Chains A and B, each alone.
Chain A
Amino acid sequence: NAGVTQTPKFQVLKTGQSMTLQCAQDMNHNSMYWYRQDPGMGLRLIYYSASEGTTDKGEVPNGYNVSRLNKREFSLRLESAAPSQTSVYFCASTPLAGVWEQFFGPGTRLTVL
């Protein structure tokens, strides 16, 4: 089992460009999450999907959109990147909403110039 995989690992964008961060899990988990991590601010939830077909906003959703493509995949899209979106992005999954152990991917390091 690969667990949670994320692509790409690194990305540099110019202001205004768009991109999609991909996340997939092979653990048959129902719930998936997107976080961003900035120095001194811990992990902040962007969006989450409690189950296939549902998505909900987290703490910092502005400037992002998500798609729960199927049970395995949960993508994060930046439509018009801004320097404030420079961050490390982590995808995570849990077996069920309400089961709190989160399994994280290795992260995507995004720089917006």
Chain B
Amino acid sequence: TQLLEQSPQFLSIQEGENLTVYCNSSSVFSSLQWYRQEPGEGPVLLVTVVTGGEVKKLKRLTFQFGDARKDSSLHITAAQPGDTGLYLCAGPPSSNTGKLIFGQGTTLQVKP
């Protein structure tokens, strides 16, 4: 069974700090996605990483896909209160059954 494990599960930081969230698996994924979910809303896709070693930047957010395609990280520089939310990584199963695999999520709170 393919699993995605995220760490940390909870993170509470002050505005302006940097942070990194990790998404790890023992299995190889063809791609990994990162979603952000704000309180009271559904998840929204931030990025998809496809190539091993790939780095994508979205303003203050940097996403990296591990060389072996078994892990990914999300780094936020100078966090802002607007970054508060639940961050989920997700990946397609090797069986290609149409069921996306989600990590359990990292809850981020950025205090002003």
Q: Which of A60-113 contact B (CB under 8 A)?
A: 90, 92, 97-98, 100-107
In the bound complex, do residue A48 and residue B33 qualify as a contact, i.e. CB atoms below 8 Å apart? Answer: no
In the bound complex, do residue A104 and residue B102 qualify as a contact, i.e. CB atoms below 8 Å apart? Answer: no
Chain A residues whose CB sits within 8 angstroms of the CB of B99 once the complex forms? 45, 48, 58-59
B44 at the interface (CB under 8 A from A): yes
A53 at the interface (CB under 8 A from B): no
B27 at the interface (CB under 8 A from A): no
Contact of A101 among B33, B42, B98, B102 (CB under 8 A): B33
Q: How many residues of B contact A (CB 8 A)?
A: 23
Contact of B42 among A4, A97, A98 (CB under 8 A): A4
Chain B residues whose CB sits within 8 angstroms of the CB of A59 once the complex forms? 99
A-B contact count (CB 8 A): 55
Nearest-CB distance from B111 to chain A (Å)? 21
Contact of A100 among B9, B33, B44 (CB under 8 A): B33
- Which A residue's beta carbon lies closest to that of B105? A42
Contact of B98 among A4, A48, A104 (CB under 8 A): A48
In the bound complex, do residue A104 and residue B33 qualify as a contact, i.e. CB atoms below 8 Å apart? Answer: no
In the bound complex, do residue B103 and residue A101 qualify as a contact, i.e. CB atoms below 8 Å apart? Answer: no
Give the interface centre of A48, A92, A103, A104 by most chain B CB atoms within 10 Å. A104
By size class, the interface of chain A is 20 to 34
In the bound complex, do residue B92 and residue A100 qualify as a contact, i.e. CB atoms below 8 Å apart? Answer: yes
Nearest-CB distance from B27 to chain A (Å)? 16
Give the interface centre of A58, A97, A101, A102 by most chain B CB atoms within 10 Å. A102
In the bound complex, do residue B103 and residue A42 qualify as a contact, i.e. CB atoms below 8 Å apart? Answer: yes
Nearest-CB distance from A63 to chain B (Å)? 19
Q: Which of B62-112 contact A (CB under 8 A)?
A: 88, 90-92, 96, 98-100, 102-105
Q: List 25 A-B contacts (CB under 8 A).
A: A4-B42, A41-B104, A42-B88, A42-B104, A43-B102, A44-B102, A45-B99, A45-B100, A50-B98, A56-B98, A58-B99, A90-B42, A90-B43, A98-B96, A98-B98, A100-B91, A101-B33, A101-B45, A102-B35, A102-B90, A102-B100, A103-B45, A104-B42, A104-B43, A106-B42
* Interface positions of B (Cβ within 8 A of A): 9, 31, 33, 35, 40-45, 48, 88, 90-92, 96, 98-100, 102-105
